[in-house]
Chains A and B, each alone.
Chain A
Amino acid sequence: MTKDIFVIVEHRRGEVRDITFELLTKGYELSRDRGKLLAVLLGFQNEKIIDKLKPFAETILNIDDERLKEFNAEYYQIVLSNLLQEKKPFITLLGQTAFGIDFAPSLSTAIDLPYSSDCLDLEIENDTVFTERQIYGGKINSRISLAENWGYLVSVRPGSIAPRDVELVAEVVDVSSPIKEDIDYRKFMQYVEAAKGEVDITQSEVVIGIGRGIKEDKNLSMMEDFAKSIGGVLACSRPVVDAGWLTKDRQVGSSGKTVKPKLYIAVGISGAFQHVMGMKGADTIVAINKDPNAPIFTVANYGIVGDLLQVIPKLNEKITELKGA
C-alpha cells in the first residue's frame, strides 16, 4: 500500500501563503519511497492558485465551491473529513497559522486522527510518526510519538522548513464538493484591515524593538531617547501593545509587521518565534537581555547579557559622545 502525503493549501484573497511551499517541500521529502505528494486545495475559481502550485506537487486535489471562497473552519471540516476518510493519506500537513489552528484540532477529533501541533520537524521511523516541538518559550524541545493509526495530522511552524523548488508537474484532479447545505452557525462577514499609525516602522533603517523586559511604562521615555540618539524608530513585541504602552502599528511579528532594517536592537525581548518571524530578516541584529538563555541570542549577531536599565543609559551616553565627536 502506498503512503501518500497530503498538504492542505493555505491561501487568502487569491494568494498562496508561504507556509504552503514550506509544507510541500517537507511533504515531498516524506513522500519519497512511500507514496505520492498531493496538494489539497479548497477554494472557489482556483485556476490561478493551481498554476502556482503545479511545480510543487504530483497531484492537486481541487475542491471548488463558492462557499469555500473565504476560509471557514466548518466547511473545511466537512470537506476534509470526507476526503481524508476516503483517501486515507498517511500524513496530512498543514500550517500552525491562524488558518491551521482554527480547524486542525476539531478535524482531528472528528475523524479520530492523532494530531501534533506546531512542529519544527517530523520523522517516520518504522511507520511510527515522531515530531519535534519547542516548549517553555523555546527553552526546551520535546520529541513526541503519535499513537498508531492509519493516518496522522501534523501542523508545522511557519519558517521552520526552507522551501525548495521540486520541479514537478502536478496533475489536477477535481473532487466534487461534499457541502450540501449552507451553514448558518458560522459565517464569514468581512476582513478588517490594520489601522495605520503615524510612523511606518517598516521604512526605518534602524529599529529598536522593546519587549516585556522594560517592565513599566515609565521606562518608555528612556527607550525613546535611545531610539532618537541612535537615529531609529521604536517598535515592540506583542506584550508591549497588549499593555497599551505602544500602538499596534509598532508591533513586530507574525500578527504585527515584518521589518528588514539594517539594524534591529531587541531590548528585553525573549525571542518567541512569533516575534522572530517579523525581524529575522534584519541585516544586523543585537539583543540586550538579562537572561543568557533567552532564545533571542540564537537569532542575534551580537548580544549583551545584562540589565537593560543599566545598559541602555550607558549605550545612550556613548552614542551621544560618538555622534557629538
Chain B
Amino acid sequence: MNIAVCIKRVPETAEAAVNIDSSEKHIIPDQLVFDINEADNYALEEALLLREKTEGDITLFTVGSKESDEVIKMGLAKGATRGVRITPENLDNLDAYAVAKLLAEQVKEGNFDLILTGCISSDVGNSQVGVTLAELLGIPHATLVIKMGIEDGFATVQRELEGGLLEELKIKLPALFTIQTGINEPRYASILGIKRAAQKELRVIENITAEGMKAEVVKMYYPPVGKMAEILEGGVEEVSGKLCEILKGKGLL
C-alpha cells in the first residue's frame, strides 16, 4: 500500500509572543521556533504504523519554503520513503484552496491508496486543505479520524464528533483521512534514521506560480482587548496569598 502524507512546518506559538510585520499580512517569524504541525505528526505516525503491517512506500508532501526541508527530513528519518517540497513563487499569499491545488497536482501522479493529512494546522487553523485535496483528487474522505483499520480495499474509521461521541464509517480506498491528535503515539527519529534520511530522495518543485486563490488576508491585527482577568500582582508568595483570600471570600475554600 502506498501512502501520501501532507505535512506542514509551523511556528510554535503557545508560549511565544507573536508579532505582526509592517505589511500587516504576515507575522514576524524571526524569534519563533518551528516544528512539524502537531496533527501532521500523528498522520505521519499512522502511515508508519500501517506500513509496518503492509508493504509500500510513504511519500511526504509539503508546500512551503526551503526551511520546510527540516520537517521533511525529520519524516524521512522516522522512516518515510521520500519527500516532495513544493515552493511556488507566490508562496506568501496562498490560501487553503491554492495549497490543496498545488498538492493535488503532485499527489495525483503518485497512485496512492491512502492520503493522510492533519485535521487542522495550528497556525491558520482552516481545517480545509485535506478535504479540498480529496475533492480535487475525486476520492472519498473522512475528517477527525481517531481510529483506523484497513481490510480488503476498505478502511473502517472512527471520527470524533462532540462530547466524546464517535461515528464509525466504512470508506472505500483510495481515500483521504484527516487525522486527529491522540490517534497514536508519535515516535522520535533515531540517530540511525537521521543518518539514513540524508540519502533519501527529496524532490523540489519550483518555478511555478499558484493560481486560483479565493480568500485573501486583508489585514492581521492583535485581538481587541476585551474582558480581561484581574491579574494578581506580586511574587509567588504574595499572589498565592491573594488568591487564597479571594477564594476564601467567595466561600470556595
Given A106-B141, A186-B172, A262-B252, A293 and B165 touching (CB < 8 A)?
Answer: no
Whole-angstrom distance from the CB of A323 to the nearest CB of chain B?
A: 7
A118–B127 touching, CB < 8 Å: yes
User: A114 near B: Cβ within 8 Å?
Assistant: yes
Give chain B's interface secondary structure class. Answer: mixed
Those of B155-201 within 8 Å (CB) of chain A = 156, 158-172, 175, 181-182, 185
Cα(A43)–Cα(B250), bound, Å? 48
The 5 closest A-B pairs by CB, nearest first: A194-B164, A303-B229, A105-B131, A106-B135, A242-B182
Q: B253, A319: Cβ atoms under 8 Å?
A: yes
Can you list, as one digit per residue, whether each of A83-113 has a CB less than 8 Å from chain B (1) or not (0)? Answer: 0000000000000111101111110111000
Q: A127: shortest Cβ distance to chain B, in Å?
A: 15
Within the assembled complex, what's the spacing in Å between the Cα atoms of A146 and B95? 11
Given contacts A109-B135, A186-B171, A298-B228, contact A146 B215 (CB under 8 A): yes
Size category of the B interface is 35 or more
Of A30-38, A170-178, A310-318, the stretch lying at the interface with chain B is A310-318
Q: A residues 151-206 with Cβ under 8 Å of B?
A: 184-195, 206
Task: Verify if A48 is at the interface (C-beta below 8 Å from B).
Answer: no
Whether A256 contacts B164 in the complex (CB less than 8 A), given A192-B158, A298-B227, comes out as yes
Surface stretch bound by A, among B10-18, B50-58, B63-71, B79-87:
B10-18
The listed residue (A144, A255, A311) touching B164 by CB distance below 8 A is A255
Contact A306 B236 (CB under 8 A): yes
Report the nearest B residue to A229, measured CB to CB. Answer: B253
B14-49 vs A, Cβ < 8 Å mask (1 yes, 0 no): 111110100000010000000000000000000000
Known: A140-B221, A299-B229. 19 other contacts (CB 8 A): A102-B141, A105-B131, A106-B134, A109-B135, A115-B215, A117-B96, A137-B13, A139-B222, A142-B220, A185-B140, A190-B167, A193-B165, A238-B181, A239-B181, A241-B182, A297-B228, A297-B231, A301-B230, A314-B237
A287 contacts the other chain (CB 8 A): yes
- Which A-chain residue is minimally distant from B167 (CB atoms)? A191
Q: Given known contacts A140-B222, A186-B171, A192-B168, is B140 in contact with A74 (CB within 8 Å)? A: yes
Name A145's contact: one of B27, B96, B218, B220 (CB within 8 Å): B218
Task: Compute how far the CA of A212 lies from the CA of B217 in the bound complex, rounded to whole angstroms.
Answer: 30
B163 touches A315 (CB 8 A): no
In the complex, the answer to whether A314 meets B236 with C-beta atoms within 8 Å is yes
Residue of A nearest to B244 (CB): A318
Q: How far is the CA of A179 from the CA of B96 in the complex (A)?
A: 29
Alpha-carbon gap, A118 to B124, bound state (A):
10
Residue B143 at the A interface, CB < 8 A?
Answer: yes
Given known A-B contacts A106-B132, A255-B162, A304-B232, A141 and B222 have beta carbons under 8 A apart: yes
| B122 adjacent to chain A (CB < 8 Å) | yes
- Identity of the chain B residue whose Cβ is nearest the Cβ of A147 in the assembled complex: B214
Given A147-B215, A254-B162; A302-B232 close (CB under 8 Å)? yes
Q: Tell me whether B17 and A263 are in contact (CB under 8 A).
A: no
Q: Which residue of A lies closest to B128 (CB)?
A: A105
Q: From residue A254, how far is it (CB to closest CB) to chain B in Å?
A: 6
| Residues of B112-153 contacting chain A, CB below 8 A | 119, 122-132, 134-136, 140-144
Interchain CB contact under 8 A, B223 and A255: no
Whether A141 lies near B221 (C-beta < 8 A) is yes
> Nearest chain-A residue to B17 (Cβ)?
A293
Q: Are B126 and A118 in contact (CB under 8 A)?
A: yes
Q: Say if the beta carbon of A59 comes within 8 Å of chain B.
A: no
Chain A residue numbers with a CB within 8 Å of B14 are 137, 212, 270, 291, 294
Q: Is A281 an interface residue (CB 8 A)?
A: no
- The reply to whether A115 and B214 contact each other, CB–CB distance below 8 Å, is yes
Binds B, one of A21-29, A128-136, A217-225: A128-136
What mask results when residues 271 to 300 of chain A are scored 1 for a CB within 8 Å of chain B, else 0?
Answer: 000000000000011110011111101111
Judge whether B229 and A287 touch: CB under 8 Å: yes
**Which parts of B82-98 form the interface with A (CB within 8 Å)?**
96-97
A194:B165 contact, CB within 8 angstroms: yes
Given the complex of chains A and B, what is the CA–CA distance between A138 and B168 in angstroms? 31
Report if A258 contacts B (CB, 8 A): yes
In angstroms, Cα B170 to Cα A201, docked, is 33
Task: Decide if A248 is an interface residue (CB 8 Å cutoff).
Answer: yes
Contact residue among A116, A284, A291 (Cβ-Cβ distance under 8 Å from B252): A284
Determine whether the beta carbon of B217 is less than 8 Å from that of A144.
yes
From B180, which residue of chain A is reached at the shortest CB distance?
A255
Closest Cβ neighbor of B250 among chain A residues:
A284
Q: Are A244 and B229 in contact (CB under 8 A)?
A: no
Contact of B142 among A186, A294, A319 (CB under 8 A): A186
In the assembled complex, which residues on chain A have CB atoms less than 8 Å from the CB atom of B181?
238-239, 242
Judging by beta carbons under 8 Å apart, are A142 and B169 in contact?
Answer: no
Complex Cα gap A242–B22 (Å): 38
Could you tell me if B223 and A140 are in contact, using CB atoms closer than 8 angstroms?
yes
A105 and B135 form a contact (CB under 8 A): yes
